[in-house]
Amino acid sequence: MKDYIAQTQVTIGPPLDPGSVGLNTSQPVNTLANLISTIIGLLTVVAALYFIFMVITGALGIITSGGDKGKVEDARNKITTGAVGFVVVVAAMFLVGLIGIILDIPILNLGEMISRIRM
């Protein structure tokens, strides 16, 4: 029995590499892509909230204008500015996604962003 135990080889696994503890340093491009995706997602949410704020304040400006054409025009400009800004942000989001596809960098994974929001 003693000879049998001495002859068996037990493989525990590869040695621990202390350089790999923490961030996944073997894929720095993926780490950068995840950071950019997170920032873009956050800015898109902020832009959507700002757009909603502009629409609400513009609508309240129209309601409370009391027939004053100047106030109605200011409120319409506020709504238009919010809408144009939101369209620019969404277009920039898809442009960054297209650049990521062209460069084969996984930037702006919409499915992953939506699953992060659900959590």
Distance, in Å, from the CA atom of 78 to the CA atom of 59, rounded to the nearest integer, reads 9
Q: Residue 16 has what DSSP assignment? A: P
Per-residue confidence band for 112, with pLDDT thresholds at 50, 70 and 90: low
Query: Cα–Cα distance between 40 and 35 in angstroms, integer?
Result: 9
Per-residue confidence (pLDDT) for residue 35, from 0 to 100: 77
In 28-68, which ranges are continuous DSSP H helix?
A: 28-63
Does this model's pTM top 0.75? no
14 found inside a domain? no
Residue 72 has pLDDT above 70, yes or no: yes
| Cα distances (angstroms) measured from residue 113 to each of 9, 11, 18, 74 | 46, 40, 31, 36
> Which is higher by pLDDT, 118 or 77?
77
**17 domain-assigned:** no
Q: Which domain holds residue 64?
A: 28-118
Report the domain count for the chain. Answer: 1
Say if 70 falls within a structural domain. Answer: yes
Integer Cα distance of 45 and 55 in angstroms: 15
Confidence of residue 118 (pLDDT cuts 50, 70, 90): low
**Distant-in-sequence, close-in-space partners of 97: CB < 8 Å, separation ≥ 6:** 107, 108, 110
Q: For residue 15, is it within any domain? A: no
pLDDT digits (tens, 9 = 90+) for 13-71: 555 454 444 445 556 666 777 777 778 778 888 888 999 999 999 999 999 988 889 99
Task: Please indicate, yes or no, if residue 8 is contained in any of the structural domains.
Answer: no
In a domain, 106, yes or no: yes
Helix (H, G, I), strand (E, B) or coil at 74: helix
**Type of residue at 106:** P
Return d(Cα 75, Cα 12) in angstroms, integer.
70
23 domain-assigned: no
| 21 within domain boundaries | no
Q: Decide: 100 and 92 in contact? Cβ < 8 Å.
A: no
**pLDDT over 90, % of the chain:** 24
116 vs 98 pLDDT, higher one: 98
